[in-house]
Amino acid sequence: MSNDSNASKTRRTRRAHWIPVVAGFLRKDGRILIGQRPENNTLAGQWEFPGGKIELGESPEEALARELREELGIEAEVGELKLACTHTYGDVGILIQFYEIRFWKGEPKAKHHMMLEWIYPEELRDRAIPEANRKILDRIENALGVQWPKSSSSRKS
């Protein structure tokens, strides 16, 4: 096989297993909602933004509205796309898109997570969060409007 066709095979292989994921930034009184992933699941015990995998035939917004209905029992209005990132778990890639959620009906309940918490965005970096989120924490904090005072910049890892 020529180098060219090897390269194109590698490219195809690398593109083979992608999972699109959507997650929501739900905000209330300056706080943000995070949920602790259930036991007996991947990344058990880690704190994540509510959301999940896009199913075939769904738009990202439809998928996120469905996930928030299933996980939290709310009817949410999915707002602006705030940021997107990729991460590799073993041989599977995930593409996560984070959306702003400012309006919803109902009170979020932990139907899927072990626990839900409303935290100040500044507290996020002290939580156990998925590596996919940790590596873009600066961008997440920026999207959430965190402004570190210059004197406390040493807090940032």
In the bound complex, what is the minimum distance in angstroms from residue 100's beta carbon to ligand DGT? 14
Q: Is 48 exposed, middle or buried (0-12, 13-18, 19+ CB in 10 A)?
A: buried
Q: How far is the CB of 16 from ligand DGT (least distance, A)?
A: 17
Report how far apart, in Å, the C-alpha atoms of 35 and of each of 10, 82, 154 are.
37, 19, 27
Cβ-based nearer residue to ligand DGT, 10 or 41: 41
By CB under 6 A, what part of segment 88-117 binds ligand DGT?
A: 94, 96
Binder of ligand DGT out of 63, 68, 72, 132 (CB under 6 A): 132
CA distance 157 to 154: 7
* Subset of residues 40 to 69 that bind ligand DGT, contact rule: CB under 6 A: 41-43, 48-49, 51-53
Structure token pair of residue 142: 């920026």
Q: Give the binding range for ligand DGT (CB under 6 A) out of 7-15, 38-46, 76-84, 115-123.
A: 38-46
Half-sphere exposure of 20 (CA within 13 A, CB side): 12
CB of 11 to ligand DGT, least distance (A): 24
Q: CA-to-CA distance for 66 and 73, rounded, in angstroms?
A: 9
Using CB under 6 A as the criterion, which residues of the chain lie in contact with ligand DGT when the complex forms?
Answer: 21, 23, 41-43, 48-49, 51-53, 94, 96, 130, 132-133
